[in-house]
Amino acid sequence: MPVIKAPQEFNVEDLFIDLRTVTGTPLYLKCEGFNFAGSVKLKAATEMVAAAERDGLVGRDCVLVESSSGNLGIALAMVAADKGLRFLCVTDPRCNTASMRLMRSLGAEVVVVGEQDANGGYLESRIRHVRDLCAADDRYVWLNQYANPGNWRAHYRHTAPAIERNFPGLDVLFVGAGTTGTLMGCARYFKERGAPVTIVAVDAVGSVTFDHYDGLRGAASDVPERRMVPGLGTSVRPELVDESWVDDVVHVPETDTIRACHGLAARGFLFGGSTGTVVSGAARWLEEKYPGEEPVALAVAPDLGERYLDSIYEEGWLREHFGPLDLPGRPHWSTHP
């Protein structure tokens, strides 16, 4: 029976889904959404705040500040609330309304930057706003998830060992690429141990994180494209990314992300957009690389789907941003007297 004193002390590490019964794909899914922050970002938030405390950066009057599209902001708001610290999240209009409400309910201040970058995204504008805050007032402490080694170390210490412990014969690991903290931590762990695991990064079409890839890896370029689903993908290449640890990359169109989410939901599994992207990319990669075979393959599911009820699970939002989509749905059940 777990007994905890702080919300960040609880996280389910050993829950996996066999997707062969859901999608027909030989793929296991590691579920990272079962903690009080609701996503894999709890690990990075906990590690980065602890490192800042050890380095003497966190004082009574400080204000933690971070740029986030949602999940890390929620995790940091929770950790800050537990420690009695102030936290300010700088986000943008693509952040889910539910995520902003949740951060505010935890005591965080949320600033929405509405000015797009020259490349059509918001990340540069968000980071510029954070830098301006820090330059104007030395009470602000920027954790900087895009460059903070605590981001990847959290997954090196926790996520990857849990995968190895439960799947000692793992052949392929699929990890979504946002800040690349989860990806870099898991990849470093397996590569440094000489494990024969193929590391496949899954990114969103329109992201510039892996801008030199094409073919199966998708329509990547060095020019960011429109992305409506928050989570994976960047309009500015993260400082953490090191492609030498990665064996392959798949880029997934957002329409495929949405179809994967609805396909999972049709079988009772409600996951977030990042998970839909990873599942879609993994299924496509396995179909091409291992046709008719049964490798031991696993994907990391970063979050659950409740925060996407007003977006990827909302018919009006989908129609506004993507037009008519042919989506998998639940069976039609007739009612009888």
pLDDT in tens, 288-329: 999 999 999 999 999 999 989 988 898 888 888 888 888 876
Q: What is the number of structural domains in the chain?
A: 2
pLDDT of residue 243: 92
Position 333 in a domain: no
> Sign of torsion, CA 31 189 168 180?
positive
Q: Is 203 found in the same domain as 182?
A: yes
Q: From CA 251, how far away is CA 98, in angstroms rounded?
A: 27
- Does the pLDDT at position 215 exceed 50? no
Quickly state the pLDDT bin for 54 (edges 50, 70, 90).
very high
Q: Is 157 found in the same domain as 296?
A: yes
Q: Which two tokens stand for residue 240?
A: 């953490």
pTM of the model: 0.91
Q: Is 287 found in the same domain as 175?
A: yes
Residue 208: helix, strand or coil by DSSP? coil
154-162 mean pLDDT: 97
- Spatial neighbors of 168 by CB under 8 A, at least 6 apart, are none
Q: Is 199 found in the same domain as 125?
A: no
Q: Is 175 found in the same domain as 123?
A: no
Residue span of the structural domain in which 118 resides = 41-142
Position 97 in a domain: yes
> Regarding beta strands 16-18 and 28-31, do their DSSP bridges make them parallel or antiparallel, or are they unpaired?
antiparallel
- Does the pLDDT at position 336 exceed 80? no
Radius of gyration of the chain (CA): 19
